[in-house]
Amino acid sequence: MGTNVNKPSHKAGLMTGAEAVVQSLVAEGVELLFGYPGGAIMPVYDALYGAEDQLKHILTRHEQGATHMAQGYARATGKVGVCIATSGPGATNLITGIADAQIDSTPMVCITGQVMSSLLGTDAFQETDIIGISMPVTKWNVQVTKAEDIPTAIAKAFYIARSGKPGPVLVDITKNAQFDQVDFNYVPFEGMRSYKPVPVASTDQIKVAAELINNAKRPFVLFGQGIILSQAEEEFKAFIEKTGIPSAWTIMGLSALDTDHELNVGMLGMHGNYAPNKLTNECDVLIAVGMRFDDRVTGDLTKYAKQAKVVHIEIDAAEINKNVTAHAPVLGDAKDILKQLIPLVKENSHEQWLQRFKDFEQEEIDQVIREELKPSKDIMSMGEVIGQINELSNGDNVIVTDVGQHQMVACRYAEFKQSKSMITSGGLGTMGFCLPAAIGAKMGVPNKQVIAVIGDGGFQMTIQELGTILESKVAVKILLLNNEFLGMVRQWQELFFEKRYASTIMVNPDFQMIAKSYSIKTALIDDRKNLEQGVKEMLEHDGAYFLEVRVGKENNVFPMIPSGVAVSDIRLK
């Protein structure tokens, strides 16, 4: 994970624990801190007040927003995202974002205030056992009750958060520890005997993997976020280009390989592309790189790739053989393993096998994609809106999505030419993720165009973060695809519950009026003839922009793999 090379120098010497917190963050190269103040963290906020030249604090409108902003920042930059909150409800409001970061392997350090150590266990005002609550969803957590332990705890937190398979870490600091004095001297954490974040890959297993790949007639690569996290994009590209193997991505792996690359055959999973899902059960060697065989990718495991020999390249030993048995498990860092694997594999093309993917792709184009991107109906589709963004930009946008139909459409149709340019909530599927994550991403990469693609349901879960845009003047573009439904749930209700739309119809407010009240420039499009100009104005506007597009209320996202069936049973209609 990256660090800030232009970080200001931290102070040293005698200071309060609260000041030590701030100086520890400065020493770690933290640029932005997302948070919300309260009683138990007030000493740290007081220390921040005099350190504006070293560390910028972004006041969010809810603690959950702070976690998602830290996530968006981390995912866009490759650095550790940092958020801060008070005890009790402030701390518990972080949990959703922490859980999201844990399952999506996002490096994040969360700092919470806690009641005085003398009051621990007494049910004091705003006391909550955040260590016990957060333990299942953190990579590591710790409670600090003495000022002298603060620097070491924070150094260890950053090391654990960013090393190996990244994840969220929580440091809970009692109020007395923040007030007490410490002779501060920051020493970066360099490791411990009990924690080996990057396993050393077995050369024997790499040779076994190479032999399987070289002898394969119908090999197929599945790649995930591990490519991005290990910064292995170039090695991965070299590997597939040498071997000529068709490659498909999980939504967390999207943008690791250019979407228009000739060997990129599309998205895996429930609403993925037709070809990669159909042909998973026809390949003879399945090579998984930096992905964990999530149930949305595999469908019914009893019918998943049973004909194939499986090569699994993965940094986390817990993922090996967890869902899919690997014939050649290669445990280690993807970048290092690919470097060793490339000289061992033979140059190949697999033209006939690749043609099978192209044939299925054409079938999907004819039956689904053409109508989705260029609808013959009067009503607009989500796909044509994303297509318009593609036409008016060059694929270097950072797209952030919420969760639902718009998420699947954006992942399916948005074009990417740079890594770290698709940010979404994958494993947890957190509605409300998009708006704050887009704010954090834009703050992390201010020179890039960041577009928040969001639905009317998820938007209202963290809509208060429009206040953060107002205060911090973040030039994020918000594209609201409004179908007045909780669209993904409604689609399932239509297909599997006889159109009983139980609690999925949305009675929405005037979003235009709300955005304007936060001094954000807005536009509403409900006619296709205005779409191109509306998207163009959004992209060209210098500052935050809110574009609401009214799309079909009962449009469905296809292809689709129904629950409990094989991936090869994917439906085009």
- The tens digit of pLDDT for each residue in 340-371 reads 999 999 999 999 999 999 999 999 999 999 99
Q: Mark whether 223 is an active-site residue.
A: no
Give the pLDDT of residue 131. 98
Kindly list the domain boundaries of the chain, sorted by start residue: 13-184, 203-357, 374-550
Tell me the pairing of strands 13-16 and 181-184: antiparallel
Return the sign of the alpha-carbon dihedral for residues 323, 329, 335, 338. Answer: negative
Helix, strand, or coil here: 391? Answer: helix
> What is the pTM for the complete model shown?
0.96
φ, ψ for residue 444 (rounded to 5)? -75, -35
Q: Mark whether 499 is an active-site residue.
A: no
Give CA–CA dist 92/236, Å, rounded.
Answer: 39
Class of domain 13-184: alpha beta
Give CA–CA dist 517/522, Å, rounded.
Answer: 10
Give the pLDDT of residue 59. 98
Decide: residue 265, CB within 10 A, 0-12 exposed, 13-18 middle, 19+ buried: buried
Please report which helix (H) or strand (E) contains residue 492, including its range.
Answer: helix 487-496
CA dihedral 533, 408, 138, 323 (to 10 degrees): -160
The stretches in the chain having pLDDT less than 70 are 1-8
Q: Mark whether 533 is an active-site residue.
A: no
Domain 203-357 has CATH 1.20.120.160: no
- Among 175, 278, 309, 420, the active-site one is 175
- Among 125, 179, 496, 497, the active-site one is 125
Decide: residue 105, CB within 10 A, 0-12 exposed, 13-18 middle, 19+ buried: buried
- Among 1, 7, 42, 126, the active-site one is 126
Round to the nearest angstrom and report the end-to-end CA distance of the chain: 42
Give CA–CA dist 267/278, Å, rounded.
Answer: 12
Amino acid (one-letter) located at 17 = G
Give the pLDDT of residue 531. 97
Other C-beta atoms closer than 10 Å to the C-beta of 269 total: 25
Give CA–CA dist 564/405, Å, rounded.
Answer: 20
HEC string of 231-254? CCHHHHHHHHHHHCCCEEECCCCC
Give CA–CA dist 159/157, Å, rounded.
Answer: 5
- The tens digit of pLDDT for each residue in 227-269 reads 999 999 999 999 999 999 999 999 999 999 999 999 999 999 9
Nearest to 35 by CA among 19, 54, 55: 55
Q: Mark whether 459 is an active-site residue.
A: no
- Among 19, 31, 63, 314, the active-site one is 63
Give the pLDDT of residue 5. 44
Structure tokens at 227: 């490519």
Give CA–CA dist 37/34, Å, rounded.
Answer: 10
Q: If one looks up domain 374-550 in CATH, what number appears?
A: 3.40.50.970
φ, ψ for residue 33 (rounded to 5)? -130, 120
Q: What share of the chain is helix, strand, coil (3-state, %, to 5)?
A: 40, 20, 40
Domains 203-357 and 374-550 share a fold: yes
DSSP 523: E
Beta bridge partners of 223: 249, 289
Give the pLDDT of residue 376. 87
Asked, as a colleague might, if the bond just before 188 is cis with ω within 30 of 0, I would say no
Helix boundaries (H) for 78-162: 89-92, 95-103, 130-134, 150-162
Give how far Cα 287 sits from Cα of 163, 314, 502, 569, Å.
24, 11, 41, 21
- Among 15, 408, 488, 506, the active-site one is 488
Give the pLDDT of residue 320. 96
Beta bridge partners of 289: 223, 313
Nearest to 75 by CA among 308, 420, 411: 420
How many Cα atoms sit within 13 Å of 37 on the Cβ side? Answer: 12
Beta bridge partners of 171: 111, 142
Q: Mark whether 175 is an active-site residue.
A: yes
Beta bridge partners of 219: 285
φ, ψ for residue 540 (rounded to 5)? -90, -15
Q: Angle of helix 405-413 relative to helix 382-392, nearest 10 degrees?
A: 40
Please report which helix (H) or strand (E) contains residue 223, including its range.
Answer: strand 219-223
Residue 546 and residue 511 in contact, taking contact as beta carbons nearer than 8 Å: yes
Give the pLDDT of residue 1. 44
Give CA–CA dist 148/153, Å, rounded.
Answer: 10
Give CA–CA dist 456/458, Å, rounded.
Answer: 6
